[in-house]
Amino acid sequence: MNIKSVASILLAMSSVAISFDSFAQNKTQADRIAEVNAILREVPVIDGHNDLPWQYRKKGNDLGAFDITKDTSANKLVTDFPRLRAGGVGGQFWSVYIPPTMTGTIGVRAVLEQIDVVHRLCEKYPNELELALTADDVERIYRSGKIASLIGMEGGHAIDNSLAMLRMMHALGARYMTLTHMKSLDWADAATDTPKSNGLSEFGEQVIAEMNRLGMLVDISHVSDNTMRHVLRVTKAPVIFSHSSVRALCDHGRNVPDDVIKLLPQNGGVLMVNFMPGYLTERGRQYTVAKQAEEDRLEKLHGNDRTASQAALEKWKQSNPRPQAADLKDVANHIDHIRKIAGIDYVGIGADYEGFDGPPTGLEDVSTYPALFAELMNRGYSAEDIKKVAGSNILRVMRKAEGVSAELKRNSKN
Ligand SMILES: [Zn+2]
């Protein structure tokens, strides 16, 4: 036997070993997914943030624009009923987002139109969706086989500095309000803008008190560190981060610093992890920063000519292709970090699907949550841990906030 044939035998043996290995791994992965799916049948995914209503707005709020009963990939969407089902989703906070440029009555009108989209979706698809107003509603609805549909307002400019507007949004079903989006308000500072109040203004504190009384969750995604700390000092109910990641792993101003994560156990709130690569890894963040800078430059350059600035941005994107900046393991790392700093009771999922392009590898759409939970189980998470991250933690927070609201209403009558 010459050296060449020994080498070829060794090569053949090693390729058998490789294929056996990958077979064993695949089988384990398939078993894991089956295990996760069984867990999610008990406590499904309750995701903190999905921007599907905004996708409808881009089509004039025409509910006929997409057929979400079928795969919507052709519409460049990542959300539809078949994929929500495959993802084990039983509850979804649909974001009724309005951009920070929509202020005053324009913003109020826009958010009402967004809320209307969620109401109409529930009406159009009664076998799939039902509006949920309480934690009990969420459980009843997902047990009946439908997806509990919650309304999350993003951000606080939608109430146009009016507590009456806040109360009316609650009456229409809004169950959280993200205090700010990218821009600081008169009463709350954003993470990505110049501060005005170093946290909350006096009126900002009144907004929190009224949200506590109403039982509307205070969402401190997007706000500045000082606003996070200020809210945590004054709120009587647990808070949420509906879609935020952690600063220690990706240095974005809108991610949550460790000293704030450490305050969560005392407050009882939950940090629901965002899947956007720009918030997950430094590589992702740097690309997002560069793209934003170019967008700002082009907007200034072209003024009101949106078509010209959009066209120029597309050109920029072609010569600066988005890097594959994050994968499923990065999201698991963020969850691990929160678990390490605060504990398993304070982590949730707020993927932000439909709110960004270029999802992490392995988490391409709403069908992929089980793959993330399989990864967490591979890292030693128990079935109980998975239930907490998927849905139990946010349900606990909702219940607690409902209890605080009932108590505050009782006391205010005395
Ligand atoms: Zn957002």
The token duo for 63 is 């509910």
Contact 328, 363 (CB under 8 A): yes
Give the model's pLDDT for residue 23: 53
Which positions ≥6 away from 170 have C-beta within 8 Å?
A: 214, 215, 216
Q: How far is the CA of 181 from the centre of ligand 1 (A)?
A: 6
Report the predicted TM-score, pTM, of the whole model to 2 decimal places. Answer: 0.91
Q: How far is the CA of 27 from the centre of ligand 1 (A)?
A: 37
Query: Active-site positions?
Result: 49, 51, 154, 181, 222, 243, 352
Q: How far is the CA of 107 from the centre of ligand 1 (A)?
A: 16
Q: How far is the CA of 243 from the centre of ligand 1 (A)?
A: 7
Residue 78 vs residues 4, 50, 96, 226, 298: alpha-carbon distances, Å? 51, 10, 17, 34, 29
Give the model's pLDDT for residue 18: 47
Digit-by-digit pLDDT tens for the chain (414 residues) are 555 555 555 555 555 444 444 555 556 889 999 999 999 999 999 999 999 999 999 999 999 999 999 999 999 999 999 999 999 999 999 999 999 999 999 999 999 999 999 999 999 999 999 999 999 999 999 999 999 999 999 999 999 999 999 999 999 999 999 999 999 999 999 999 999 999 999 999 999 999 999 999 999 999 999 999 999 999 999 999 999 999 999 999 999 999 999 999 999 999 999 999 999 999 999 998 899 899 889 989 998 888 999 899 999 999 998 888 899 999 999 999 999 999 999 999 999 999 998 999 999 999 999 999 999 999 999 999 999 999 999 999 999 999 999 999 999 876
Which positions ≥6 away from 102 have C-beta within 8 Å?
A: 110, 157
Q: Which residue has the tokens 């069984």?
A: 38
Q: How far is the CA of 14 from the centre of ligand 1 (A)?
A: 48
Q: How many CB atoms lie within 10 A of CB 261?
A: 24
> Is the Cα dihedral 80, 122, 36, 220 positive or negative?
positive
Q: How far is the CA of 102 from the centre of ligand 1 (A)?
A: 15
- Residue-wise pLDDT for 347-360, tens only, equals 999 999 999 989 99
Q: How far is the CA of 203 from the centre of ligand 1 (A)?
A: 23
